[in-house]
Structures are given as C-alpha cells and as structure tokens.
Homo-oligomer: A and B are copies of this chain.
Amino acid sequence: MNAALPRDLLPDYAPRPLPAAMLEALQARFGSRCSVALALREQHGRDESPFDVPPPDAVVFAETNEEVALVVALAQQHRVPVIPYGAGTSLEGHLLAVQGGVSLDVSRMNKILRVHAEDLTVTVQAGVTRNQLNNELRHQGLFFPIDPGADASLGGMAATRASGTNAVRYGTMRENVLGLTVVTAQGEIAQTGSRARKSSAGYDLTRLYVGSEGTLGVITELTLKLYPLPEAVSAAVCFFPSIDAAVQTTIQIIQMGVPIARCELLDANTVRAVNLHDRLGLRESAMLLMEFHGSPASVAEQAATVQEIAREFGGEDFDWATTPEARSKLWTARHHAYLSALQTRPGCRCVTTDTCVPISRLAESINASVREVEEAGIPYFIVGHVGDGNFHLGYLIDPAKPAERETAERLSHQMVARALALEGTCTGEHGIGLHKQGFLVEEAGEAAVALMRTLKRALDPHNIMNPGKIFRI
C-alpha cells in the first residue's frame, strides 16, 4: 500500500546476532511454531509505518503465558531482543526489528477467558482483537468501546495506549484496562490490578505497562471494563462551510458537557476521496460525523443541543441514522478515509501526524497546519477525533521526490512544535515508536525522559524488550 521509506531515516542501530544455541532451544521447544522463513520474518518486521523492513531473525508463536515466559527467559539468557507482535497494525515502527531478535507472536493467544457480564468486565488473552471481542459480547448486550479503526489486538492496543473514535465518551486504553498479566523482561509472570473498579494498592503497574510499547515486557492477558450496549444509538452527519466552523462546533459541544459518544471530523479532501472510492455522494465540504448513546430521551436531547450549536456555525444538511444499517453506511466514510485518500494520488505514501491539543486550541492548531500544507502545495487530507482535540493530517507525498518527503517532515515538525506550544502532545494515540523520539524529548523534557530511561534500565537492564523504541538507551 505504502511505498517503503529508505532505511536512512532510521537511526543507526547495531544488530545483535541470534546465537545458534538460542535458535536451537526455540526450535526444540516450539517445533514448527518457531520459524526463520524469510516471508514470515518480513511480515513480522513490518507494521503500518512507512519504513523499510528490518526483519527479525526468527518468529515464535506462543500460545500460553508460560510459553511467552520461556521465550523471554531464553532471550534474557542470550541477550537477544524480543519484539511482541499482535495484529501488526501499529503505525510508528513499533514492530521493526532494528536490532534483530525474535518476533514473539501472540496472535494465537486469542481466547476470551472470562466474561463477567454482571460486573461489566472481561478477561482476554492479548491476541484477541477488538472485533472478535465485540462479536462475542454483542449477544450479551455489552461492548468494549475503544475503536482505533484497525482490527488491532487488545494487547497491542494496550501497549500503544490506543484510543480512537469513542474516546471522547469512554476514554482510552488508559482508562479501560483494569489489570494485566505481563511477562517481565526476566521472564517472570506478574499480575497487575484486579477486577475491582478502583484500587489504591501500591504503584500503578497496569498504567506503567499500558503505553510501554513492548519495551518493559510482554502483555499476555488483559482485564477490561465493559459497557452495556446503549438503549438508543443515533448517528448524524453535518456539513460546514469550513474546517474552522466544524471545529468551533466541536469545541462548543465539549464545553457544554454534552456526553457525545463520537465526534469525528473529515475535511473536504477526505470527503472527496471517499465519494470517489465508495460513490457516497456526500456534499464535499468539511463534515462532522457524530454518534449519541443513551436512553431514547437523552439521545434526542443531545442531538437537539448539538444541532442547535451546529446551526450557529453554519452547519447544514443534518442527516440522521438510527438503524444499524444506516449508521454503518454513514461510518463507511470514516472507515475508508485513509485508503480512499491514498488512492487519490497513485503510488503516493502517507506521512501521518497525531497531535492532540486542549480543545480550545484545536481550531488554531488545525487552521495553521492547513495553511502551511496548502502553501507547500502537497496533497493532504485530515481526519480527526476532534472531540478529544486529536487530529491526523496525512501528507500524500511522492516517494520518488525527496523534496516532498523533506517538506512533509518539516511541516510535521512544525505541527508538533505548535501542539507543544499549545500545551498538547505529539501523539494522542499512535505512540512514539521509532519516528517520534525527538518529539518525545521536546514534549516531556530531559528530566521526564531521564525518569523513563531509569525505569527502562531498572526493569530491563540488558535492553532486550523491543530495543530502540520510545528512546535510545
């Protein structure tokens, strides 16, 4: 889909060769579930980021906590990198084997272990994907709301602190993981958290592992919060004369405390792209795609309030969908946005951004970024979880033109610098991975990054867990 970026964008990492003794031990224990086939390795050394693939030296498919622990303990003994692998949908180079090592694939750990409908909790293995979970839960009248778009594994979603379209109402993985089973860098199996909704029992190990991008250990099981399927769900689109008008509407919705469940922005470029891709016939201007959850009365009330706010900012052509089919048609536009945008410039690749700012600064953040990209003349599109202050601007560049790549990187850096000046973050939901390490230092400051490095060194002194990600050691 995306042409690969040249390897020179990656920092210079020293590969660590896989000792024959370790490979033999893995093969003896895992048989055909340990593979060195190139195609499989390359598939595991790739994610949705635009970097060239440095493949791992081997791929191991683990099926139990104990197997994960065994692989990590062996890797610790031989000082070999371990890269946890779930569904391969991360976006920031998290899965790239920049120092070689073993890709530890947990996708076969895909059992839903315990549904406690009466407590609104579920315990799953890390390889369960969010669609799998929701398909299983639907007949019990429950759902897990975090929706990053891709059908990611829940372990991976925890590892990158993912969020997505429902976060404005239900929070992110940070708020929705109650506890974890993790395999530490020493190959120990540890439990964090419990099934209680809250606890003050010691350090918050759960939140330390959520967002740690595989660098502190392997998440093997998760206990998650569930929610009753809302009695009523209603989706709406509304079109605006400008991005600014759509964003101002969003700001007002949030400031008034309307408990909106989803509030997504698509710019005119994106709408044009999905019209081409799916013949949706939508009006080609900035659009908000919204969803309301609650009792019928509450949903109607929320919708009326929002419609009134939108009208103040020139919002038009409100269109409603209350049946699942009609809703799913409306959401097609959002779900196909990325693919559709890529197809508007054949052969292009996409440099994606992920800044998130306090809601009142969202308009200036987006407006300035639009101005800059328009001036630079690079094709682009914007989608945003604007209710959170988070948006993604994709620069659609021609990989054969280094000048375009440089421009996109420069604009991306300007956007991050602006987000930080507005007291926001360089990444709302994708994580740091390989590409945003410089941004992390700009954002968190040397003192905080030093604390992070101290934690990493303490928990993984030989730097075997997904080395080279988040920061260099």
Contact = CB atoms under 8 A, between A and B. Distances in A.
Contacts of A230: 257
A198 interface: yes
A119 B359 contact: yes
A360 interface: yes
A199 B190 CA distance: 26
A79 interface: no
A187 to B, nearest CB: 11
B207 A445 contact: no
Given A116-B360, A359-B119, A448-B190, A428 B207 contact: no
B459 A454 contact: yes
B424 A194 contact: yes
A454 B202 CA distance: 13
Interface residues of A, number: 93
Contacts of A171: 175
A87 interface: no
Contacts of A163: 198
Interface string A138-176: 000000000000000000000011110001000110110
Contacts of A454: 458-459
Interface in A407-465: 419-420, 423-432, 436, 439-440, 443-445, 447-452, 454-459
Interface string A55-66: 000000000000
Given A196-B425, A360-B119, A458-B454, A447 B204 contact: no
A198 B452 contact: no
Contacts of A301: 295, 297-298
Interface in A179-229: 184, 188-192, 194-205, 207-208, 210-212, 216, 227-228
Contact of A448 (B160, B191, B426, B445): B191
A290 to B, nearest CB: 17
Contacts of A257: 227-228, 230
A208 to B, nearest CB: 6
A88 interface: no
B388 A200 contact: no
Given A194-B424, A197-B389, A298-B301, A459 B448 contact: no
A86 to B, nearest CB: 16
A256 interface: yes
A121 interface: yes
Contacts of A254: 120
A455 to B, nearest CB: 6
A180 to B, nearest CB: 10
Contacts of A194: 420, 423-425, 443
Contact of A447 (B189, B298, B458): B189
Contacts of A298: 294-295, 297-298, 301
Nearest to A227: B257
B198 A172 contact: yes
A160 to B, nearest CB: 6
Contact of A423 (B118, B195, B456): B195
A172, A436, A452: most-surrounded residue (chain B CB, <10 A): A452
A427 B388 contact: no
Nearest to A231: B257
A113 to B, nearest CB: 13
Contact of A449 (B175, B195, B202): B202
Given A116-B360, A118-B255, A160 B459 contact: no
Contact of A451 (B389, B419, B459): B459
Given A119-B360, A197-B389, A297-B297, 7 more contacts: A161-B199, A197-B358, A199-B427, A202-B211, A202-B432, A207-B207, A458-B458
22 contacts: A172-B198, A184-B451, A189-B447, A190-B445, A190-B447, A191-B445, A194-B420, A194-B443, A196-B356, A199-B356, A199-B427, A201-B432, A201-B444, A202-B452, A203-B208, A203-B216, A204-B207, A205-B452, A207-B208, A208-B208, A454-B458, A458-B458
